[in-house]
A and B are shown apart, each in its own frame.
Chain A
């Protein structure tokens, strides 16, 4: 099991030696037992770092945010950043490196292995506790999670409370790291990768449309999925043209003729267009960290759309985002044996 003290000591060491300007990690949050992301700049603060199954966030997002901040800053601080990364976070960092978003030497990846478990799904945790609130959630060793409530301590099989993405995780140990804490387990007794997608595919087209129509219809267009995604880093999203500046000189014709790929109104077809576009933009890039699904206020299973394309990438093109970061990106490469039979 990973001892959080090791992570703290390492982070403090990095900051003391001045190897990094800051360390992005998790600390105890204010929302119940859940951890929250934090940025440490002083070695003395390293004591607040935690590592337990409530460390839900994908911290790679904050690397992207820092990058954007530095780009806008007059006095950019180009020193490297340390980041505590789970398997999925490390894959996201790998894809960002592949896309030259930053250089390898600009990030120090403090890898932590999820070992036999992963992070909990707050909704599942709530259900399994039947209304009581958890005070503490810890790794129980092996494939179990130890939960402390006011009624006492109990150990649950991890399968009951783990997030869906963790059940289907293909790499619980960060492959890209500068230092690794915890063991790397080859075998985990959970679901096969892409299980949920395959189950959805087994239903008929009509049934799938009925489901997705229902989901797209409920979408609020709050764009939380886009905000939380470490790989949705475009300065201007295709669905909102913020660069179309309307001045007093803008004629009615210009306003009418501007390109609108997608309207912002939250109706079924426009939301479908938004979600499908987002899925395509993440094809071969999505690292299945499941953040979009976690933050969705109306519980749209967004992960399915992305994992569907990841499954095709893996099965048809032998490509995995985050694994093949030394190769050209999925859609900017091809092989002669790519599927051709669907073309007339």
Chain B
């Protein structure tokens, strides 16, 4: 029998997920209480609103070793603070474009709208993201 400690470690994507506390965070909770099976690779960070995500959070996550960053907020029109997700959309569009411009793979950064009732969608978003990151492999470009 081979020694498991001698085997090369399989790459497990590390994903940082910034989840709005009013929707996506509750959505991830719903996925949990509904006993949906989905990838355990996403580390959730609950934030007050997707509009409160500073671009620095995303850059910093990549810098500190995230293989992918997910930002998830409420559907347009559903923001608890009226317009936070619209502001997030514009701001994070610029971040996405900038990251692509310097040559980070486009699939590393993702944004989604997940409401509190969409537990299944949350599981699907995370699964899809993990699958894409698995094919890309570890993120070494912005990692320090």
- List A residues at the B interface (Cβ < 8 Å): 197, 200-201, 205-213, 238, 261-263, 267, 269-270, 272-273, 276-277, 279-280, 283, 304-305, 308-309, 312-313, 316-317, 330-334, 336, 338-340, 342-344
Contacts and interface: CB of A to CB of B under 8 A. Distances in A.
Contacts, number: 112
9 contacts: A205-B103, A269-B142, A270-B144, A276-B59, A279-B98, A280-B55, A313-B94, A331-B91, A334-B83
B75 to A, nearest CB: 10
A269 B143 contact: yes
Nearest to A344: B112
B103 A212 contact: yes
Interface of B: 55-56, 59-60, 63, 76, 83, 86-87, 89-91, 93-106, 110-113, 125, 128, 141-144
A241 to B, nearest CB: 13
Smallest CB-CB A-B distances: 5 pairs:
A209-B103, A208-B103, A334-B86, A269-B144, A344-B112
Q: Chain A interface mostly helix, strand, loop or mixed?
A: helix
A330 B94 CA distance: 11
B142 A272 contact: yes
Contact of B103 (A210, A238, A261, A262): A210
Q: Chain B interface mostly helix, strand, loop or mixed?
A: helix
Contacts of B87: 331-332, 334
Given A331-B94, A344-B110, 16 more contacts: A209-B102, A209-B103, A210-B103, A270-B63, A276-B98, A276-B99, A277-B55, A277-B59, A280-B55, A280-B98, A309-B97, A312-B97, A313-B94, A339-B93, A340-B76, A342-B96
B144 A276 contact: no
A205 B63 CA distance: 19
A312 B93 contact: yes
Contacts of A330: 90
A328 to B, nearest CB: 11
Contacts of B95: 280
Contacts of A277: 55-56, 59
Q: Which of B63, B106, B125 has most chain A Cβ within 10 Å?
A: B63
